[in-house]
Structure 1
Amino acid sequence: MHATEGSVETVSLGTKHPSKPLLWTENWTAQVFGDPPSQRLADDLAFSVARFFSKIGTLVNYYMGTNFGRTGAAFVMTRYYDEAPLDEYGLYKEPKCGHLRDLHHVLRLSRKDAQVKFRGVEYFLPRHSVRSAHAVKLAKKFVFQNAMDLKAGINHLALLFLTVGMPDSGAGLEKKYSGIDEVMIQGLNTGTLDLTVNGWGHEVGLSGEKLGIHSEEGSSCVQWQRLKRYFDAPTGNDPVALDMSSMGNGLVWINGECIWRYWVSYLSPLGQPSQSVYHIPQAFLRLKNNLMVMFEEHGGRLGDISIVTVKRDNICIFVSEYHPAHIKSWARQDSQIRVIAIDVKPSATLKCPEKKVINQIVFASFGSLMGVCGNFTVGNCHTPQAKILVEKLCLGKRSCTLPVSHQAYGTDLNCPGTTGTLAVKAKCSRRNAKANPSR
């Protein structure tokens, strides 16, 4: 690919050799850098992927990334990219996930499977594979100055420092340096004393890590006061996370696994930490007596750390009667794409996660709508009949399919400015929860 800096859709697509596959290795589903990351519309993302495959594209990687332990790159937070169709908790990021799922269904209709022979072995390649990828490209340098008291004669100077990630990308990687670069003592009668090449002795790692004090066995080697706790895992299968808003800067181990470095004391230009809630993979947890060990550099309020579960209980739809029917209304038959649905008209489907049902219709309207999920607003064409019909068809069910037409909701097709759009926001809850219709 003849690529320059920037996204793929801003450059000419092509390969130097027509026999080589065309790969989109990093499809940024949002702007990576900045606080907060700028969002990218799902339809814009899907359009760019469709255009890529129309240019004989072979594979697209949706960019994502989470760094556990010490695997993060320089000055990159643990959740350094969480705008992919599948988020860091393994949950669907809507509407991106659903929109792209439908797109790839379209691509499967338009392409055939392939049988490839590689090094004497036959391989079956499914149509249009989709993968995930991650990478980081950031490094910074700073100067630390502090007053010190010196005595006559020999003075011993020891420096304790931690690198916030390591360089892992870019040209000349083998020449990049991490850690302390220069050490100088200023203000002496004889001028500045350069200690950079003064025969330093280096001890890599922390003594606590070498003693294994973050593990069950090694934790008895030291006297603990505040930064060692036991906790039970929350019930259920929802992803688990720690809210670290009350802490400063350090590392956390869960049952001996270093899961992330947190830095909530460093505020972004918006005056907020870039990340304050940190995911604990279920594979690291036990039902009872999970050991949490922290190395905190700045101090904080350990008692205010909270264990939370992550849910995706707010679901939305935004569909116009001018949209085409669902892609599954067509199928490939005898090398032809044929209509298989009885009624080829647009429809809208709400669907809750497993073991949950639609408990409340927060918003429903048909006509001219604006906004995004969680912030829908009605225009000049609106009907209260929409909410009544949606509650009738959806409350108490895990999923429901809604008509998208002005006849179904009793609206005036000739209303000035109408877009014939249905927008719904619903809440999901456990099956045993009492339904709560909106009034």
Structure 2
Amino acid sequence: MPAEQEAARSDSAAPAAARLLSTAAPAPRAVARPAPPAWPSPSAASALPAPALPAPASPAPAPSAPHPAAAAATASIAQGAPQPCLSLHSVAGWASPGTLRFRARIEDRLAITLVDSGAGFPVWLRDIPGIAFRTDNAPFKEEMQRFVTMIVDLMRKEMLFSWQGGPIIMLQIENEYGNIENSFGPGGKRYMQWAANMALGLGAGVPWVMCKQTDAPENIIDACNDYYCDGFKPNSPNKPVLWTENWDGWYTEWGEGLPHRPVEDLAFAVARFFQRGGSFQNYYMYFGGTNFGRTSGGPFYITSYDYDAPLDEYGLLREPKWGHLKELHAAIKLCEPALTATDSPKYINWGSWAQEAHVYENQSWCAAFLANIDEHKTVTVSFRGQSYVLPPWSVSVLPDCKNVVFNTAKVTAQTSIKSVELALPMAPGISSPRQSVAEEGSLMSGSWLVVKEPITIWSENNFTTKGILEHLNVTKDQSDYLWYFTRLYVSDDDVAFWAENQVTPAITIDSMRDVLRIFINGQLTGSTTGKWVKVSQPVKLQKGYNDVVLLSQTMGLQNYGAFLERDGAGFRGKTKITGFKDGDIDLSSLFWTHQVGLKGEFSKLYSKESNEESEWSNLTPDVIPSTFTWYKTYFDAPAGTDPVALDLGSMGKGQAWVNGHHIGRYWTIVSPKNGCQSCNYAGAYRPEKCRTNCGNPTQTWYHVPRSWLRESNSNSLVLFEETGGNPFGVSVNVRSSRTVCGSVSESDYPPVAKWSRPSSVDGQISITDGAPEVHIQCQEGYTISYIEFASYGTPKGSCQSFSRGSCHAASSALLVSEACLGKNKCHIEVSNSMFGDPCPRVTKTLAVEARCESSSSSSASSSVAEF
């Protein structure tokens, strides 16, 4: 996976908290200086371990489709069909020493990346004495070899390698290690060579690859990971040219717009790769996913890992990305005989660096790729006596060196618009059937129960020590939350000094990551979020003793870089309180009581196993939503099979559970308004380009696998809210593609499926019908029930905003409805022979917008709008 996304579950290598606890009694307080905390004394509590918080209710489900969180599709031209590559990125998925937890099924034709919290290292690993990650370090190599050996043995046992008749054709060891190898000096080089030899020694019987590893050993294939790999060459002419990760989108952080990579650019990159000699490419990701529970890395990666993939997070086709790539793959497949029969292509240049061709040819076969790399100009080139028009930033594919079957910039695939249908949750004791209120435009509501999370020590499983301990050393990543409690004395002199000098005391921290909440005397005083940012929070203190509570939260663990075992979370440097008469107070030197997690987590308020039912009370709509509150309701499972999502747009920040399954973190932080103004597919893609959803919350919808739901109305929804929100605005929804559109011109190419090769081997291809077509298809279980728009002529606009132009065939709506209504999919020829010629000597386009309805609910008499 991309280096920036390899979220390694590891941080500081300092000893565990139990080995750092101080049992010394606090020193007597000096005048106007901190007093010992009123919570359990060090001698009584310091030996108590942090609570062992529960693991997730169960692993992520095994849905009918491949699990999205680990799916990617491989386009292997030589094999003619997608095949899997098993990526062993790191010591990933270890729940505890000696145990392994899988969160995804192994599926045919998928690249499975074994990841947990975004890639990798369990926190317990860093507690092994003397360990250093990803370098020539004996403890690390021992654990890594144990893990990799177990995985390879498991694959062999399950008969999954290609030589056993299984689908796995290659394996990957390490991940983009070349980016950080030099950070470790000579040890990095030794480790890389050791990892290669260790992997080869396992006898897997398939090739091993390393990505972004230019110094990979001779018997390991070095591969490319990037947005573009057409210029990549391996470090030996004896190795094939592999593109292991074609990034078709990008990850998203909270507070950002959503990345979007135009399919014209993605197709251009793939075609250029094969044009210039590539032999294998793999998409990352082909199937988007969800970071359920606390598995999102970063820090600050959102719960969704949709990645703008051709298959979205919910398993729905993202059109036109899916359809356009499908056409591209079919076009390259037609080139297969020439690509596999020729070692290197012939290069042709038309006098400019921006236009070039590569021709794969022998006595029997010929295939050509014509490229225009210019970002702005459409050009016409002459190739073998014929003229070819090349749009900007595009490649035309000619499987027989004569006929263009596909151009990367000309998208004829349908567009699908996603929609949601609201479903009412059922309050406890209500057994009425599910109701749809989408037509009324109202949000779901029901009876909610509520319980407050205490801002105080709630368990005997706490400990007190002098100083503020590093976050992960204490929590072991069993919870996002770590509480620090102390008590501070304020004298009359201090109060008088503040009044006379107009001074406001403030808590300052040199550096903090990821979220900090400061409570003074039980009241939330301020919050800070960021990656190792400085904190300066004014606080209001009262005369006498003041309870000071710091709540440190993680938002996923550090995801990339060298020396991850040294990294951590929480606070770094000095923690002080400023503004006192006698000078700043070093809070870092005080005694602090540490408490891991939330009481609601520890008592499993989200689960039926909880024994805390008596703590819940009814919530009324007129109650002002508050911070640090648990909410619970019940709902009926939506009918049908459409994927399910929670709309948490009315909440603030927190975590959600359905039937005890941890849906993940939620946060309604809004992305900047700027950054989504325009999108031109041409030119090199970067993550900041073509963003969408600007000015809105980064994520509102949260995936709920149907396998986690019960058919009855006993489905529980539990929210832990940190900042305040309105649970009465929460809704349970089903997602589907209700609107599908197509727009194809007479000048576009016919579908690639119309082209075929005759049985004789003469290098030629033939076509059954040379007319282009509009293809539209509803998702499985839906049929076309209504034609919203149809016009053959010069229609204007785009999907959901089509309008008639000056030229329009009156028969458009009737002919389209006859071809499509009541069907799951249909195709309409774009030609005068189909519609007549409404405007001679004008290039015409057929634009169609159709509505899809569930086959079980659509009316028998479908209809068409009049235009």
Question: TM over 0.5: same fold?
Answer: yes
| In the alignment, structure 1 residue 167 sits paired with structure 2 residue 558 | yes
Distance 2:250 2:556 in 1: 21
Distance 1:395 1:338 in 2: 38
Distance 1:92 1:274 in 2: 21
Q: Between 199-208 and 289-298, report the one with greater CA deviation.
A: 199-208
In the TM superposition, 1:141-290 aligns within 5 A as 141-142=532-533, 143=535, 145-149=537-541, 152=544, 157-181=548-572, 182-198=574-590, 200-218=592-610, 220=612, 223-225=615-617, 226=619, 227-264=631-668, 266-270=669-673, 271-288=695-712, 289-290=714-715
Give the structure 2 partner of residue 117 of structure 1. none
Q: CA RMSD in A?
A: 3.0
What is the SS of the residue equivalent to 1:247?
A: coil
Q: Between 419-428 and 369-378, report the one with greater CA deviation.
A: 369-378
In the TM superposition, 1:352-431 aligns within 5 A as 352-412=778-838, 414-415=840-841, 418-431=842-855
Q: Between 67-76 and 41-50, report the one with greater CA deviation.
A: 41-50
What is the SS of the residue equivalent to 2:743?
A: strand
8 Å Cα contact 1:65-1:81 kept in structure 2: yes
| In the alignment, structure 1 residue 316 sits paired with structure 2 residue 540 | no
In the TM superposition, 1:51-200 aligns within 5 A as 51-54=272-275, 55-63=277-285, 64-73=288-297, 74-111=299-336, 140-142=531-533, 143=535, 145-149=537-541, 152=544, 157-181=548-572, 182-198=574-590, 200=592
Distance 1:19 1:192 in 2: 66
What is the SS of the residue equivalent to 2:775?
A: strand
User: How far is the alpha carbon of 1:26 from its aligned partner?
Assistant: 3.9
User: How far is the alpha carbon of 1:336 from its aligned partner?
Assistant: 6.1
Distance 1:58 1:237 in 2: 36
Q: Structure 2 stretches of 5 or more lacking a match?
A: 1-211, 215-222, 341-513, 515-529, 620-630, 674-694
8 Å Cα contact 2:791-2:848 kept in structure 1: yes
User: How far is the alpha carbon of 1:174 from its aligned partner?
Assistant: 2.8
Give the structure 1 partner of residue 246 of structure 2. 27
Deviation digits for residues 46-71 of structure 1 (CA, Å, limit 9, x no counterpart): 22212112331412223344321111
Q: Between 16-25 and 229-238, report the one with greater CA deviation.
A: 16-25
Give the structure 2 partner of residue 17 of structure 1. 236
Higher-RCO chain (CA-CA 8 Å, sequence separation at least 6): 2
Deviation digits for residues 138-172 of structure 1 (CA, Å, limit 9, x no counterpart): 9724426141425557x653322321222122344
User: How far is the alpha carbon of 1:387 from its aligned partner?
Assistant: 2.1
8 Å Cα contact 2:224-2:232 kept in structure 1: no
What is the SS of the residue equivalent to 1:278?
A: strand
Assess, with a 3 A threshold, how the Cα gap between structure 1 residues 337 and 197 changes in structure 2: closer, same or farther.
farther
| In the alignment, structure 1 residue 293 sits paired with structure 2 residue 514 | no
Deviation digits for residues 379-428 of structure 1 (CA, Å, limit 9, x no counterpart): 4433343222212221222222201113422235645xx44322211111
| In the alignment, structure 1 residue 50 sits paired with structure 2 residue 274 | no
- Name the amino acid aligned to 1:70: R
Distance 2:708 2:730 in 1: 18
Distance 2:562 2:752 in 1: 44
Distance 2:282 2:633 in 1: 43
Q: How many residues are paired up?
A: 411
Distance 2:258 2:245 in 1: 16
Deviation digits for residues 198-217 of structure 1 (CA, Å, limit 9, x no counterpart): 45443333232222221101
Distance 1:412 1:384 in 2: 8
Distance 2:544 2:262 in 1: 66
Give the structure 2 partner of residue 347 of structure 1. 773
Q: Between 101-110 and 184-193, report the one with greater CA deviation.
A: 101-110
Assess, with a 3 A threshold, how the Cα gap between structure 1 residues 315 and 383 changes in structure 2: closer, same or farther.
same
8 Å Cα contact 1:352-1:428 kept in structure 2: yes
Assess, with a 3 A threshold, how the Cα gap between structure 1 residues 221 and 22 changes in structure 2: closer, same or farther.
farther
Q: Between 167-176 and 66-75, report the one with greater CA deviation.
A: 167-176
Assess, with a 3 A threshold, how the Cα gap between structure 1 residues 86 and 195 changes in structure 2: closer, same or farther.
same
Distance 2:763 2:804 in 1: 38
Assess, with a 3 A threshold, how the Cα gap between structure 1 residues 210 and 176 changes in structure 2: closer, same or farther.
same
Distance 2:614 2:262 in 1: 52
TM-score of the two chains, using structure 2 as the length reference? 0.44
- Name the amino acid aligned to 1:208: G
8 Å Cα contact 1:78-1:260 kept in structure 2: yes
- Name the amino acid aligned to 1:267: V
- Name the amino acid aligned to 1:257: H
What is the SS of the residue equivalent to 1:361?
A: strand
8 Å Cα contact 1:382-1:411 kept in structure 2: no
Assess, with a 3 A threshold, how the Cα gap between structure 1 residues 24 and 370 changes in structure 2: closer, same or farther.
farther
8 Å Cα contact 1:109-1:337 kept in structure 2: no
- Name the amino acid aligned to 1:22: V
8 Å Cα contact 2:813-2:864 kept in structure 1: no
- Name the amino acid aligned to 1:421: T
TM-score of the two chains, using structure 1 as the length reference? 0.83
Distance 1:286 1:20 in 2: 52
Distance 1:219 1:375 in 2: 55
| Amino-acid identity (%) | 39
Deviation digits for residues 286-336 of structure 1 (CA, Å, limit 9, x no counterpart): 112112111111222212211110011211112222222221223454666
